[in-house]
Amino acid sequence: MKTFLSCVFLLLAYYAAAQPMTATHLLCEYLSNPIGIGENIPRLSWWDESQEKGTTQTAYQILVASSLGRLEKNTGDLWDSGKVATSETSLISYQGKPLTSRQTAFWKVRVWDERGRRSQFSTPAKWEEGLLSGSDWKAQWIGMPNLDLSKPDPSPYARTEFNAAKHILKARIYASALGVYDLYLNGKRVDDVKFNPGFTDYDHRVLYQTFDVTDLVKEGRNTVGIILGDGWYAGHVGGWDRQQYGKQPMGLVQMELEYSDHSRQIIASSSRWKVSPGPIISSDFMRGEVYDARKELPNWCANGYEDQTWANAMARPVDDIVPVASCSEPVRQWDTCRVKRISEPQTGVYVADLGQNMVGYARLKVQGSAGQTVKLRFAEMLNPDGTIYTANLRTATSTDTYTLKGGGIEIYEPSFTFHGFRYVEITGYPGKPTPDSLTGIVVGSATPNAGSFSCSNSMVNQLYHNIYWGQRSNYLSIPTDCPQRDERLGWMGDAEVFVRTATYNSQVGAFMTKWLNDVQDGQSPKGDFGDVSPRVHFFGTAPGAPAWGDAGVIVPFTIYEVYNDKRILARHYEAMKRWVEYVHGVTNGLLWEKVAGNDYSDWLNINEETPHDVVATAYFAHSTDLLARSASILGKIDEARKYKDLYGQIRQAFNTAFVTPDGRVKGDTQTAYLLVLEFNLIPEEMRPLAAKHLVEDIVTKRNTHLATGFLGAGFLNLVLSETGNNDLAYRLLLTETYPSWMYPIKNGATTIWERWDGWTKEKGFQTPVMNSFNHYSLGAVGRWLYADVGGIDLLPGSPGYKKFVIRPRPGKGLSWAKTSYDSIHGPIKSDWKAVGNNLFVDVEIPANTSAVVYIPASSSKAVTEAGVSALRAKNVSFLRMEKGAATFEVGSGSYRFESDRVTENP
């Protein structure tokens, strides 16, 4: 009997081990089961998963069906790809029957591995098309009639009732606003999204969202309603006047019912809808929200509500700018912050400390008499006397005002404003507030988490925390520069210096797809990109600035590299080319010396100004190089050759004008050397000389401190590690004196500061003209934490982490680091730990991928994998010794390497 059971267990174990890979984590256009997309040729992605080492996909079959029932019967009536021999799993273009507006497509995939084993079909996924044609829109824009447009007005509430006469099979609402909106059906919020439809250049593009309301609508009488706010359209944008795009908010609602007999009914916003002001007296992203609970409209979106006194909506047709489908994650609440302590620096003035600089608003809990008013003011820092520091907000008053209706406990959350803050000043509160009286509601674009980093040093962990929170704070519909003062714009330079770090922290493929449309919308007829995107009217036609305008080339190329997204290159290639040609046209002998717009150069450097022509020409060369590579990727052979030649000519002109024979670069600054080394602008034999000058500047001139601004900060440690100065990179990381990454942390920072000297013990606060304490740019060092400390990085020429690098570079001050990253092909992990004279490195490689793994060691013989010689281990092949590291090619699976832990680059 024991023998029989043993055989059964062995057989089961054999079959369990022999299971082929499976397809999981199905996505359409970077999104999980998206609804209302605007792509009629969407792209599909999945992860391959396997318990075995060294597995690769050799083929796939995708089925796409018009119903779940057909899909369950393995009938792909929309598309059956057949068996396609390829290892590709990401962004596979749909090639089936033409898709139409509103169409739902159900899909699944199965894969074959390297042994010819076929998997089961994956769990089904789906996507749904939105309104693909302007003629699909029957709704009209509606708003409040007879407003005084010279001042902020109450938020309009709009409603209509309708009768659903039959059994409902499917119900959708397509909604948008010139401004922002909240959508209701039968008295309930349709979703929990904030600030729809998002920030765009409304002169060129307006987004809409699609909602599945099948479960909210009922047979018989129903009521649909919308509340509007000024938002970016009619409110303040930046520190300038209101109404940058339009005079008043307007909404667009189109509800479509499909009955069980497949007949359809459309309920569309029009002048027949009723509108009224409500309790939101005014709302503005910069100023805050004023709410009078006594003016609430109970049951305003319920059947039978008495709206006879409401006005008929002002209406206008959808004509000049037809809304297009949103293509990225919306803004949602993603965390809460509890009050840590409450002080009373002045009588009756309370200050709540949430312990974390955050973006969102405060949920107020209060009880008092009708007419009592509570004011909440928001700030990032405190004055020495304990009052809130608001000088750096400039004209952003950032104040929410709530007037009580009385009669019990009241809960208030603003609808159409957000603030950047850690501290909340509370005045007018009935009695004394407690920590339970206030909760910080944290909001931001709901980009899924991608990476994680932790190490043995608590201050470095806080730095990573600050980088992460800075991104989540400022990735709100667009990549803003800061969330607190009267600005909050999509600054191009900030976005491009941080984008690579951003891809590690979060899945930003969809987010950047949306924003790059804003970038292209803002390109002028001359070819220059704006300083900010969306390009607000205030900036007018100022020519594009070096490094800032170059975001229009650098960001799409980065998204291509990280996600193997060729379409993003194809869609923005002509815009990228126009930028390079624009710059070419304003150069003098290929040197960009004049006509550089606002020319921010190495913004906010520390007393080490890099010559502007060096910065501008370096970025001109870099963008030209990326354009040439993009042309080659897209099969534009002649243009690839043209721009490769141009890049070579710019490089030669740069060296002739700015580089001496001993490798010294004009300006002799840290950023000057970082640009020439990172952008490969000098001959290979001169790289050690330039690196030597860089080290001299840091160590000798700056007493081992950094001096870079926005442009150099993200490259500093990367270049040091790459040029054999890893020890110095670690010393800079761990330096606690000013200026450094650790100085703000030592002084209580919970996000990245805009300036190295935002606050110092000697001088206090820097100028309030420009001093944000939540600003991600200098957090671009996060890329180095992931790529060099953790070791996870792209392999040049292999986009999308199909084949990638794991190269941890341990350094003095850290005894271990754990790093993970969810690539578009699956999760990657790299954990290292130094114990005595030994180094242990654990790596995890996703199925259907491989990695080049570098293990610091004296020789290949000093490295073992799982106790067995790495040279004999399955799926591990020794390649070479390189700069103090044994290099291996490793197939998928989990591995442990052990070495004698010599210092890399001795």
Amino acid at 258: E
Q: What whole-number distance in Å separates Cα of residue 557 and Cα of residue 569?
A: 7
Pairing of strands 22-28, 104-113: unpaired
- CA-to-CA dists, residue 356 to 440, 457, 466, angstroms: 9, 20, 10
Q: What is the C-alpha to C-alpha distance for residues 830 and 819, in angstroms, rounded to an integer?
A: 5
* CA nearest to 357, candidates 374, 378, 383, 341: 378
Residue 174's φ and ψ, nearest 5 degrees, are -105, 120
Q: Tokens in use for 654?
A: 């740069």
| DSSP designation for 778 | G
Q: Which helix (H) or strand (E) holds 367?
A: strand 349-367
Q: In the numeric block, which tokens belong to residue 119? A: 């998997």
The C-alpha atoms of residue 772 and residue 482 are separated, in whole angstroms, by 7
Among 499, 615, 621, 486, CA closest to 562: 499
Rounded CA gap, 698 and 22, in Å?
Answer: 51
Cβ-Cβ contacts under 8 Å for 67 (sequence gap 6 or more): 106
CA–CA separation, 115 vs 110, rounded Å?
15
User: Could you tell me how far CA 423 lies from the centroid of its own chain?
Assistant: 25
* List 128, 129, 487, 722, catalytic entry: 487
Cα 389 to Cα 381, 392, 484, 652: the distances in Å are 5, 7, 12, 50
**Would you call 114 a catalytic residue per the annotation?**
no
Retrieve residue 894's tokens. 């989990």
Closest listed residue to residue 438, CA positions, set 506, 513, 511, 351? 351
Backbone dihedral region of 830: left (phi > 0), alpha (psi from -120 to 50 degrees) or beta?
Answer: beta
Which residue bears the tokens 């180094």? 839
Reported as half-sphere exposure (CB side, CA atoms, 13 A), residue 831 has a value of: 11
Phi/psi for 38 (5° steps) reads -105, 10
Sign (positive or negative) of CA dihedral 613, 619, 622, 627: negative
Q: In 711-724, which positions are buried (b, 16+ CB within 10 angstroms) versus exposed (e)?
A: bbbbbbbbbbbbbb
Indicate if 754 belongs to the active site.
yes
Q: How many CB atoms lie within 10 A of CB 73?
A: 12
Q: How far apart are CA 448 and CA 393, in angstroms?
A: 30
Find the helix or strand (DSSP H, E) in which 427 lies: strand 419-427
Tokens at residue 900, please? Answer: 């004698």
Helices (H), 36-126: 68-72
- The letter for the amino acid at 666 is K
Q: What whole-number distance in Å separates Cα of residue 650 and Cα of residue 546? A: 15
Is residue 834 within 8 A of residue 856, CB to CB? The reply is no
Could you check whether the bond before residue 124 is cis, i.e. omega within 30 degrees of 0? Answer: no
Q: Where are the beta strands (DSSP E) in 648-733?
A: none
Q: Could you tell me which of 215, 330, 323 has the C-alpha nearest to residue 269?
A: 323
Backbone angles phi, psi at 35, to 5 degrees: -125, 135
Q: Using only C-alpha atoms, what is the Rg of the chain?
A: 29
CA distances from 202 to 207, 246, 519, 821, 876 (A): 9, 9, 13, 36, 54
Identify the active-site residue in 754, 865, 898, 904. 754
3-state secondary structure of 14: helix
Tell me which residues are annotated as active site: 487, 754
